[in-house]
Amino acid sequence: MKRILVTGGAGFIGSHLCKRLLNEGNQVICLDNFFTGLRTNVETLLANPNFELAEHDIINKFDTEVNEIYNLACPASPPHYQYDPVKTLKTSVLGIINMLELAKKYNAKILQASTSEVYGDPLVHPQIETYWGNVNPIGIRSCYDEGKRCAETLMIDFHRQYNLDTKIVRIFNTYGPNMDPKDGRVVSNFIIQALKGEDITIYGDGTQTRSFCYVDDLVNGLVKMMESDITGPINLGNPSERTILDFAKLIIEITGTNSKIVHKPLPSDDPVKRRPDITRAQKELGWTPQIDIYEGLEKTIEYFKSM
């Protein structure tokens, strides 16, 4: 039995990860300050004696003996991370310093949930891990993008300087149950609008592309990465690329709504293309997404219907 800390554990991805780790017989400490995480996401886990819920902000030091740390703590949707950009940057930078110091103290393995946003508005497509990105350091998304880039730097420097077992994954668009309906992400926005019969809002002309990975596949990749001897970074995402316009039409098809599609101006620094090259994950982790978009969306839509 391992003792595992999951920061941001009450969030969308973190709650699924906590459940997976508990099901494998581990002790799990879920740490969250509930800025975007929800207690309801982990309520069913509270009865498990191997589960501990700690309300804490990783900007402040936290001390408990652990074997592994999954650092998922950081608001990840634009409305959330732009609400308090200074706090977002502190969460990424001060938070990872505190977690790295904790890992160093107990010689624990640590995995950093980085993001495809480190590639910015990419000039290389699909995005491969050796690409350094095209990021605006002073834009409205910079608090998130640059915070995550700095966190990667700190991870690799702790690895080089202290021989700490660090792991970096770059997460691309992920969806599934436990998403916050108010997080402003494209999947939740489209589904909520469709279920209400409202117009589906597309920013820009809809030709910008994204790739969508179901949360169970993503969590499987996180666990495989932690169990590996790889430092990374490694992309985790679904390489199936589609335009936002086609994705909106797919939501309309699956929900059977009469919603119309409307267009609004594209936000500043919004990436035009986004698709991961997952060759490294396939070769080094034996990981590839298994759940297709129809199956994943049906499960996600049912979750939103039940809310």
Active-site amino acid positions: 144
Name beta bridge partners: 248: none
Locus of tokens 């652990």? 66
Whole-number Å distance between alpha carbons of 240 and 247: 12
Residues 6+ apart with CB under 8 A from 80: 35, 36, 183, 184
Q: Provide the β-strand partners of residue 7.
A: 31, 71
b/e per residue, 156-186, with b = 16+ CB within 10 A? bebbeeeebbbbbbbbbbbbbbbbbeebebb
Please name the residues in contact with 260: beta carbons below 8 A apart, sequence gap of 6 or more.
Answer: 199, 200
**Which residues lie below 8 Å from residue 284, measured CB to CB, with a gap of 6+?**
228, 230, 234
> In whole angstroms, what is the distance from residue 250 CA to residue 144 CA?
29
* H/E element, 241: strand 241-243
Q: Which two tokens stand for residue 97?
A: 């310093």
Q: Which two tokens stand for residue 118?
A: 């480190």
d(CA 28, CA 18): 7
Rounded to a whole number of angstroms, the distance between the first and last alpha carbons of the chain is: 34
